[in-house]
Amino acid sequence: MSTLTKQDTFNSILEGAPKNFESERTLAKESYFAQGLPALKAEEYKFTSIAKKLEQTIENFSSAQAFEVSDELVKSSIYPGFEGNVLVFSNGKFLPELSSNIEGLEISALSEKPETAIGSIAKVEKDAFAALNQASFVDGAFISVPKKSQVEKPFLLLSFNKSNEGQVIQPRIWIEAGDFAEVTFIDQSVDLSETSYFLNKVIEIKGGVNTHIRYYRIQNEGKNSIEVSNIETDIQQDSRFTSVNISLSGDMVRNNLNLNLLGSNSEGNMYGLYLLNGKTHVDNHTNVDHTIPHAESNELYKGILADQSRGVFNGKIFVRQDAQKTNAFQQNNNILLSEDAVVNTKPQLEIWADDVKCSHGCTTGQLDEEALFYLQARGIDKTQAKGLLLYAFAGEVLEHIEEDSFREYCISLVQERLGSKF
């Protein structure tokens, strides 16, 4: 009998929650109790039973507090070639003293911005983990990019996570970008934990009209992380939002990515790559909601799975009745390198408008033996030929990273992985 599906699992965390954002937290707590943690049979978490995983791995839950992070640690953790602004977090708490000071931008601890409409984008009733976060996060960050500012240099959201004895880390970030703003975020975590830990993250992004926001994330932290993230974006008229998510490690990872296209002539792009080995389990659930006419969404997720790894892809495209002239494309392709690796992929299209262009497709297969032989027959060593083919497969996602230094960094990580471990 699962104890986690009971209401009291996270009670001490909920009880110890800060007193700010009172109405938001109360609402979230009620919603969390109403939903309960998704049980094994819950449709949305069918393949990814976070609740069971937590129960097997972690005993006593408590909230992780911020710990001291040194300047040297920050410096040595920034990926090579990065040039831009760094925002440092310790177990989810924003550390302004270690972060770049950027003129014209408003960046602070979320606790200093009590009027922030948290939960207005990532609504608690959609996901129990989002509700849990909203009810009990310790502190987070508020980032506001003013109107018309085009921040050329990217922001590195650099999170240091250290959890012991079942401490739960619940980062929460609110990002807003004024009309005509253009900005790039790179989200990366450094894991300093020695034991398994639970990371439950929420990021809300609110874009004005004519904004151009890029959100890149690399998940290459510890092997022992159990992670859920809810990232949700509202996109207005004439705006473009692009997300690229690269997953390379973790124990069990669930990424919920939701895009709400709220203004015409807007474009949402979602790209993802997961290279998994060992017993890593990564689940990408995406949802794009076309609410208005003349918007476009593009989605490409690709996976390479070795050993006993497991991948899940679930892509929802929702086209509402008013959303005529919608263009929506979705593609998920997987290569399995071992007989024990498994992928579950499911496109989910719900189309209520009649004048739309939607396409979707998914494939799961092995490495193309014909192509491998062709390369070998030209004198290319088998291991290298495999690497070339897998890299070609993965490259299609990486090329959507527009920030040069980050793309190069990801390419080097991916090549290293494809050359050695696979």
Pick 350 or 368: Cβ nearer another protein? 368
- Please report, in angstroms and rounded to a whole number, the separation of the first and last CA atoms in the chain: 38
Residue 23: phi and psi, rounded to 5, are -70, -40
Rounded to an integer, what distance in angstroms lies between the CA atom of residue 142 and that of residue 113? 7
415: contact with another protein by CB under 8 A: no
Rounded to an integer, what distance in angstroms lies between the CA atom of residue 330 and that of residue 226? 27
373: contact with another protein by CB under 8 A: yes
67: contact with another protein by CB under 8 A: no
- Token pair recorded at residue 289: 């909601």
271: contact with another protein by CB under 8 A: no
408: contact with another protein by CB under 8 A: no
Q: Which of 395, 408, 413, 419 binds another protein (CB under 8 A)?
A: 395
Pick the closest to residue 310 from 259, 345, 269, 265 (CA basis).
345
Pick 40 or 392: Cβ nearer another protein? 392
Pick 109 or 388: Cβ nearer another protein? 388
380: contact with another protein by CB under 8 A: yes
Candidates 24-32, 100-108, 109-117, 364-372; binding stretch for another protein (CB under 8 A): 364-372
User: Which residues fall within 8 angstroms of residue 300, CB to CB, at 6 or more apart?
Assistant: 270, 271, 272, 330, 331, 332, 396, 397, 400
Rounded to an integer, what distance in angstroms lies between the CA atom of residue 334 and that of residue 35? 33
Q: Which of 59, 97, 354, 370 binds another protein (CB under 8 A)?
A: 370
Query: How far, CA to CA in Å, does 408 sit from each of 86, 88, 396, 401, 417?
Result: 18, 22, 14, 9, 14
371: contact with another protein by CB under 8 A: yes
391: contact with another protein by CB under 8 A: yes
> Cβ of residue 380: shortest distance to another protein, in angstroms?
5
Pick 190 or 418: Cβ nearer another protein? 418
> Cβ of residue 386: shortest distance to another protein, in angstroms?
12
Candidates 45-53, 193-201, 324-332, 375-383; binding stretch for another protein (CB under 8 A): 375-383
Rounded to an integer, what distance in angstroms lies between the CA atom of residue 393 and that of residue 281? 20
User: Which residues fall within 8 angstroms of residue 32, CB to CB, at 6 or more apart?
Assistant: 10, 14, 124, 128, 131, 132, 135
Candidates 262-270, 306-314, 380-388, 405-413; binding stretch for another protein (CB under 8 A): 380-388
Residues near another protein (CB under 8 A) are: 368, 370-371, 373-382, 384-385, 388-389, 391-393, 395-396
